[in-house]
Structures are given as C-alpha cells and as structure tokens.
Chains A and B, each alone.
Chain A
C-alpha cells in the first residue's frame, strides 16, 4: 500500500475517533431516552408559564358579559383576543387587571377599510372619515356590536 494511503487512513481514523469522543460529550443526556429527541424537552415545555386560559373560565365570573356576547356577532371571538392573556388575572383579579382597549385604531385592526378583504364577512368602516370625533365603543358595545 502506498505510504500516502496509510498516512491518510491514520488521519481519518484519528478524525473519526475524535468525532466519536466529542459526540459522547455533546449528545444531551436524556437524548434517545424515549425516542429521537431530548426527553428533558418535555419537562422544559411543562415548565413554561401558562399565560392564556380557557374562555369558559371568563364566563364563570363575568356571566353578565357572557350572556350579552353569546348572541352578538363577536360571539366566536375569544375574550383574550381583545383583553390580553388572562391567566394571571384568574390567579388574582384585584392585582392583575386586564386591558380594555377603547381607541378607534384598535377596532380598525379588523374593521378598517381593506379592499383585499371580503366586506360581507367582517363589517368595514373608513375610520378616517366615519364619526371621527368619537370612540367606536361610545356607540357600539364591543360585547354585542350593532351596526
């Protein structure tokens, strides 16, 4: 066998052994425990802080608003879409007050004129023109908006 070849084989063997040694130290401890993933990842996900709650939990306390909302066009919109994540609020309602967005631009996020959207599904209004001195919520109750 030519000398070049023997030397190269030695170099490759060294490289492969080094790779295996490095691999031994770098593969996360719990990898392959349950499958081709890091078993500890399950624990990491479990430890994430919960931010949102089930909408039914909102209805449990806010029965008045719930009864209003169920018959209106916003019935399928989750409370937390407008009011933000509610987990901490449920833990301690007095300390963690949720937001109540009232500015025109906020309603406009769904309802402002947009030629690319079908106007028979979400009502559209030119918020730069329509009754500009007042807030939307002064005329339209967001929990049961009427046209």
Chain B
C-alpha cells in the first residue's frame, strides 16, 4: 500500500490534468547547476580570451583570475550531473562507448577537449616560465611538482617566452569557438527537446551562450574585487569600468535575445501558448522578480547610467560589487526557469505539477550548495599554487 500513499500524496501537488510520469520532476536543481557552472566557465574564459586576442590592456589584472576561475569551475562542472545520476559510479561509461548520434554522449568529449586542449594548455603556456622559476626557488615537494609541470622545458629566455605567447595565442584563438561550442552545446541539449515548447527553440544555444558570458563576466568582476580586497591592494578602476562596460553590452545582447524568444512565442501564440502564459505567472518570483528585475533591469539601469555619468569611485565600486552579485543570482534563476520551469507543465498542456527542493539527499539543497562552494575552494588553492601576482615578466626585461 505504500506506493499508493506516495501516489496520493504526490497527487495533492497537481493542478489540472497531467500524465503519471510528470508528477515528479526528473531534472532537479542539480541540472540547474550544471548549465550555470558550465556557463561561468565559458564566460570567464571568453573574458580572458578577449583580453588576449583583442589585447584589451585594461582587463590585464583579471586575465589570470579569469583563466583560473574557468579552470576551477570546469573541474566541478560535471559533478552536479554525476551526483544526479542514478548510478554515479558508472559515470565514465559515457566516455568509453561514445555514440555520435547522442548529444549527451558527445558532451564528455566536448568537455575533455575544452579542459585538455584549451584551458590546461592556455594556463600551461601562460605559467611555464613561472613553473621553471618557482621550481628553482621552492623546496621539497613543491619544487618537484613545479618541476614536473615544466614538462622538462627549462628554458626561460625571452625567445622561449615569445614562443609560449605565440602558442598560447593560437590556443586562445582555438579556445573562443571551443568555449562557444561548450556552452552552445548545453543550450542545444534543451533547445533540441522538440516535445517541450518552453525549451524547443533554435535561439536556445545562443541565449545560453550570451547568458554564460554575462555570468562569467560578473563572476570575474566579483572575484577580482574580493581577491583584491583580501590582498589589501588597490582596485584598478579602469579595469572595473571596462568590465562594467563589457557587462553592459553583453547584458543588452542577452536581454534582447531572451526578449526576442519570448516575443516570438507570444506572437506565434501556438497551441502551447496558454500553458506557457500560465507558467510565466507561476514563475513570478524566479522569472519576473529575480531574473528580469533583479538580474537584468537593475544592473542594466545602473551600468547604463555609468556610461553617461561616472559617480565617485567609492559609489562605483559598491555598485559594481552589488551588480556582480545580482547578475550571478539572476543568471542562476534564468537556468532555474529554463530547467525547472520547463518541467512544471504537462505535455497535455492542461496541468501543472510542483517542485519542492529537498534539503538533504543526493539531489537536495545541501548537495547543490556543496557544488557551488567547491569551485571557490579549488580556486583558492589555485591562487595559492599559481599566484598571478608573483608571475615573472620576462618579456619586459
């Protein structure tokens, strides 16, 4: 009888008509985290690449921070997915028997390509000379680790540094489309679900990409301010203003694309439109308040104002800090609205289920918080192990 009791309880959460398999959401909060974290990676990396490829000097103080942040978050990007699996111990199988016709099966290779061929290589080219220098300065285990990381290339001559820079540049150029591929792919996973009118849109990969860039830039802005504060250094206002300006432009693009997607739905008013308009009212808090108002309108208004009039540094600093948090939270809710929102309504278009996040358990709140915190711990380690402020400037000599 236990099963019936569960069913009866579950039925109390339902409005209207839904199919039995729609009672419980299959993709939980962890699946919200996955595109969120992947987006932070892609966004932070794209910011680093802009700095390098387009030689935006003002962004220089954030270059290594963006790279290391991208790496720290990339290390954790798959963890929400793995903890969501019914059989997490079999996660590697997707890599062992890949299938070209499955977008999800390809993910492992997109991820590996990005991790191994782009991010790690770029960090390596950026830090190789420093590995050599640190392997000479440090003692004990650390010396050995740095030495191994040099891969035996101990040359620190300006010529070798130029080679590093040149190769690093090539990697960055390859990296930009790779970052687009990584996050465009995540949007593709949702956009290609033709049975779900809330997801099925060719704009989805592009929307995901731009929201990734928005969140990545906000993350770097946030990290740069926090790290500088902890190191008791002075913030580079030119750098902050440049990031702010960039965030403003990308946020406009992101907002335009998302609006276009919604306007298209409203104008098209297809058979699913009634349920989608009801869904939007159900998502009032997460969509209207958190994503649109807090995550988009307020940052846009403040950043837009700064483009015409620059208040005192103190005010700008505080504003940038608040904006970075607002945008980060707003983009999280954007992912939430896509992933959770898309599963709340029935394929019959005649009913809704509800989603209540559990506290404990494999897909609970605590688990999600853990996967949000772990990247910051990894980043702290990376900043200690590869401190950007202790890098040598050989080309200058």
Contacts and interface: CB of A to CB of B under 8 A. Distances in A.
Interface of B is mostly: helix
A116 B124 CA distance: 60
B274 interface: no
A101 B167 contact: no
B96 A4 contact: no
A23 interface: yes
B7 A27 contact: no
Contacts of B96: 23, 26-27
Nearest to B151: A7
A52 interface: no
Interface residues of A, number: 22
Contacts of B93: 26
A7 B152 contact: yes
Interface of A is mostly: helix
A132 interface: no
A109 interface: yes
B99 interface: yes
Interface residues of B, number: 29
A8 B15 contact: no
Contacts of A130: none
A52 B61 CA distance: 67
Contact of A4 (B4, B16, B99, B164): B164
B259 interface: no
Interface string B126-169: 00100000000000000000000001110100001001100100
Interface string A45-69: 0000000000000000000000000
Contact of B128 (A4, A31, A105, A116): A4
Nearest to B159: A2
B121 interface: yes
A33 interface: no
19 contacts: A3-B153, A3-B155, A4-B125, A4-B160, A4-B163, A4-B164, A4-B167, A5-B167, A7-B152, A7-B153, A23-B96, A26-B96, A31-B97, A32-B97, A36-B97, A109-B8, A116-B14, A116-B15, A116-B16
Given A7-B151, A109-B8, A116-B16, 5 more contacts: A3-B153, A7-B153, A11-B151, A109-B4, A116-B351
Interface of B: 1, 4, 7-8, 11, 14-17, 92-93, 95-97, 99, 116, 121, 124-125, 128, 151-153, 155, 160, 163-164, 167, 351
The 4 closest A-B pairs by CB, nearest first: A7-B151, A2-B163, A116-B16, A26-B96
